[in-house]
Amino acid sequence: MTAGGAPYDGAVFKPARALLALGVPLLLAGCALLLPSRLEVAPTSRVVDLAVGTSTTFTVTNAGAAGSVLQWSFVADELEAWPSSGSLVAGDSETVLVLAPSTAVGRTLPGRFVAPRQEADVSVAVVRGPTLTCDPDAAFATAAGAARVLVGYRTGVARSAAVRTTSSSDVAGLASAVGGRQVRQGAAGEHDLLEVPMAAAAGLVRALEARPDVAYAEVDRPVARAAIGPDPRLVQQWNLTLFGAPESWAITDGAVAPTGPVVVAVVDDGIAVDHPDLAAVVLPGYDVVHDDTDSRNCTDHGTHVAGIVAAVRGNAEGVAGVASRPSEPWVRLLPVKAWPDSSDPTSTTQIDPIARAIRWAAGLPVAGTPTNAFPADVINLSLGALRTFSSTLAAAITDAKEVGAVVVAAAGNGDTEGVDYPARSGTIAVGSVDANFVRSGFSNYGTGLTLMAPGGSGPDPACGAIISTGVAYADGVATETYTCKAGTSMATPFVAGAVALLIGTDGSLPEGAARHDAVDARLQAAAQARPGANVEEYGAGILCLDALLTTTHVCGTAVAAP
């Protein structure tokens, strides 16, 4: 008899196709979890030098059987991990960022990666190394009467190691023939660096440009920061309160954190990595000038920029960043140092290290450097002062965008028509407005300008500009402080921080090469036109953070529901 009392008719029960379709994947998933996974962590010990950063990395790998799945997590009393747990299929690895507290100097802190029936103990020794040595006369070491020449190769050559090596050797021979040398052969997609007598540079460039395997050749040139007027004061952050940050934070503070950090690379003169308002959000960076991991700066430009992006909010310290959160911040700063260790705030860098810094920030190969474990979602370029095009910088920016980085750059401070390079090379080019929403008198405008953001004069007489994190060096000793600066350098990180919040809260944005243009379109759509303003002077308009991230407010003012 059947359960309903009817006589058994001899039919064989057959599950519905929908049930089979559901059951098979569940069965396979269950089997995957039963297959033997194997937890491997490398290395098992690390050193965190608080002089150059508060974090380090471990690599977690599932070295188990094919088809297995490893569920892992990290536990520790004093160490913090990002991410703190995850899932890995066989053969896959994940880089885990581990942060140590600055109060643990001289101690070794334990941690443990755990998985079902498995565990791996790790340790982090916390030390504080020597102070950074700064010299006002530090600059690029180029032989007297010599010029640096940058050579890029066509895509087919750059992507083929064998052909690229032959081309690079030929170019090195041309440099040698005029009394010069090849200083460095670039990695795949990167430029070569030559040093030749000044008198031979122009002729060599023309000869190189005539070669079918060479995409471009140009003489390296100075690149300056895009800030003016330092004045140490602690004042109200009008650039946040007047431009919609509090209204935006009401949304982003409650947003679900993304699965990994949103990384903003600050390509600049470095960051004071142990500044109390920054230490908790700084990733391990790199110095492309000196080829080491000491990304501290001898002037405070990069530190000031970094604070505008993501200075920690709610920690009873100084200032807050655009992309800050009072707890569990998920926007992280990646310092990429591209300046010599000069304490002169007017010192310049060169095109070569800026291009290498952009590439390294994006996770692209750069000759002689370690791989960046945290490729940038956003690259901030608060620099410029180049009035003519650079093929080397344009190529680096294009490559960074191709792998998904959004590149934001300063329009420049010359009060001239046409923004500076590299901002004009396909980036989101940012000009500056004052607290009255009028273009700052120093800000470039016109050709190449994308939009405007706060970076100029404010209402507080004690500062009169943008207050942010800073650092002062005296007799080789760094003192964390807060400084006032104005410039398109200060407007640019406002936009970079806004982009970071947008990426972290909007899962509809595309990945890869399409992301930069999609973000650019969103920014321009949200920018507010100033009544009666000249479009040439303001681009798409003025960015208010709340207009980008909410539908309820524009620059702190509530708007009617659509």
Residue 360: name the closest of 283, 305, 463, 472 by CA.
Answer: 283
Kind of pairing between the strands at 349-350 and 222-225 = antiparallel
147 in Cβ contact with 219 (< 8 Å): yes
Query: In the 8-state DSSP scheme, what is residue 374?
Result: S
Angle between helices 351-361 and 391-402 (to 10 degrees): 0
Distance (Å, whole) CA 486 – CA 239: 11
Query: In the 8-state DSSP scheme, what is residue 172?
Result: H
Distance (Å, whole) CA 496 – CA 265: 9
Cβ neighbours of residue 21 closer than 8 Å, sequence gap 6 or more:
none
Distances (CA, A) of 316 to 80, 277, 310, 326: 20, 9, 15, 10
**Quick check: bond before 232 cis, omega within 30?**
no
Q: Which helix (H) or strand (E) holds 121?
A: strand 118-127
Tokens 């150059």 belong to 52
Catalytic residue among 49, 192, 213, 268: 268
Query: In the 8-state DSSP scheme, what is residue 279?
Result: G
Tokens 């565990």 belong to 119
Is residue 347 part of the annotated active site? The answer reads no
Catalytic residue among 191, 342, 489, 546: 489
**What does the block give as tokens for 36?**
């033997």
Distances (CA, A) of 54 to 80, 82, 85, 280, 543: 11, 13, 20, 7, 33
406 in Cβ contact with 428 (< 8 Å): yes
Hey, what amino acid is at 456? Answer: G
Tokens 């994190």 belong to 469
- Encode burial over 50-83: b for 16+ CB neighbours within 10 A, e otherwise: bbbbbbbbbebbbebeeebbbebebebeebbbbb
Kind of pairing between the strands at 93-99 and 118-127 = unpaired
Helix/strand/coil for 155:
helix
3-class SS string, 222-269: EEEECCECCCCCCCCCHHHHCCCHHHHHHHHCCCCCCCCCEEEEEEEC
Q: Which helix (H) or strand (E) holds 485?
A: strand 477-485
Is residue 268 part of the annotated active site? The answer reads yes
Is residue 553 part of the annotated active site? The answer reads no
Catalytic residue among 37, 269, 295, 301: 301
DSSP, residue by residue, 284-341: P-EETTTTBS----SSSHHHHHHHHHHPPSSSSSS---TT--SSS--EEEEEEE-S-S
- Which positions are annotated as active-site residues? 268, 301, 489
